Structure 1
């Protein structure tokens, strides 16, 4: 079990629960076509964004299987994205992490910096055995990020589902707890 009680501070970022005051920052990137392109949702309208934010403010803990921890990533007082961790299986100690960032902040290492903290929570706080990440094969930036984090590509599902009206594929990456500890050590 894990609950985000205090914000997590990295070298440049603050990872913290979403709050109602994040609505405009969130809408700034969630409403963009290029952000929604590889997500299951369409670009968010103001109303969609408000509904989603109301859900996110309560996603602050992993108390039971299937719970999602979803935290805002803040840079200098502005929310530039989010990271998440889903507790997939208690019995098998499995989790899944993900991330979405404002395109204006791509290429500066912010996603890597925040994603490492989600993996740290998974392996060091939740004692997970395995954490996966998934992305669309066309999302080469996301695939490269998972590889930089030390995750291994385990599968490429080709035309495995209808995604936004066309056949889409999916890449699956994974990291084991032993691999995390070998590369990051435990704090």
Structure 2
């Protein structure tokens, strides 16, 4: 499998993390509003630095299965958030995606743009058959992004995950490669 990074969109660069990203990561990972529906946070500085070191080490793995990437603005290289695609089941050619942005960059289409690129990367480079994502049912912004990129809600998972001491429901969204290809044909 030949992997080509960084990934570029009209406005963004999705790239592997570097040491200097820790402050950008910390600005969203320590924000209670950003992490309200996420299984981590609000982070301490040590939490964020440990996360970053773990991800930088993962970049070097030979058969890489997780691609946690920094999202930076193309025009000035400013760090605005992170996104990821993970191969969750290589036997089924299945993967998952996720994203988190610094709050001041919400509502500007960046999560949609980055997520569309993750789907392209997943289907074209990682040769995925199916890509899914989950989000908290109360997280309307994330659910809207998943629908915009062509995912369909496949399920409602009750008390699926223990997050911050509370059993939380999750919405399950997914898209198949054939449906993604049809979307690309329609958008040409």
**Superposition TM-score, scaled by structure 2 size:** 0.90
CA distance in 2: counterparts of 1:47 and 1:23, whole angstroms: 10
CA distance in 2: counterparts of 1:117 and 1:62, whole angstroms: 22
CA distance in 2: counterparts of 1:162 and 1:45, whole angstroms: 20
Deviations 1:90-132 (A, max 9, x none): 2211111111111110110001111111111111111111000
| Map of 1:154 onto structure 2 | 154
| Map of 1:79 onto structure 2 | 79
The 1:81/1:45 distance shift into structure 2, 3 A limit, reads same
CA distance in 2: counterparts of 1:60 and 1:120, whole angstroms: 20
Note the C-alpha offset of 1:42: 1.8
CA distance in 2: counterparts of 1:105 and 1:166, whole angstroms: 28
The two structures, once aligned, show a CA RMSD in angstroms of 1.9
Give SS of 2:92's match.
coil
| Map of 2:104 onto structure 1 | 104
**Superposition TM-score, scaled by structure 1 size:** 0.91
1:178 equivalenced with 2:175 (yes/no): no
The 1:170/1:63 distance shift into structure 2, 3 A limit, reads farther
Q: How many residues align?
A: 184
Return structure 1 stretches of 4+ with deviation > 2 angstroms. 1-4, 58-65, 158-163
Deviations 1:36-62 (A, max 9, x none): 211111211111111111112234378
Note the C-alpha offset of 1:133: 0.5
Give SS of 1:34's match.
coil
The 1:161/1:52 distance shift into structure 2, 3 A limit, reads closer
1:45 equivalenced with 2:44 (yes/no): yes
Q: Counterparts of 1:1-187 in structure 2 under 5 Å? A: 1-4=1-4, 6-60=5-59, 64=63, 67-75=65-73, 76-185=76-185
CA distance in 1: counterparts of 2:72 and 2:97, whole angstroms: 18
The 1:131/1:119 distance shift into structure 2, 3 A limit, reads same
CA distance in 1: counterparts of 2:16 and 2:162, whole angstroms: 33
Gaps of 5+ in 2: none
Confirm or deny: 8 A CA contact 1:95 1:122 kept in the other structure: yes
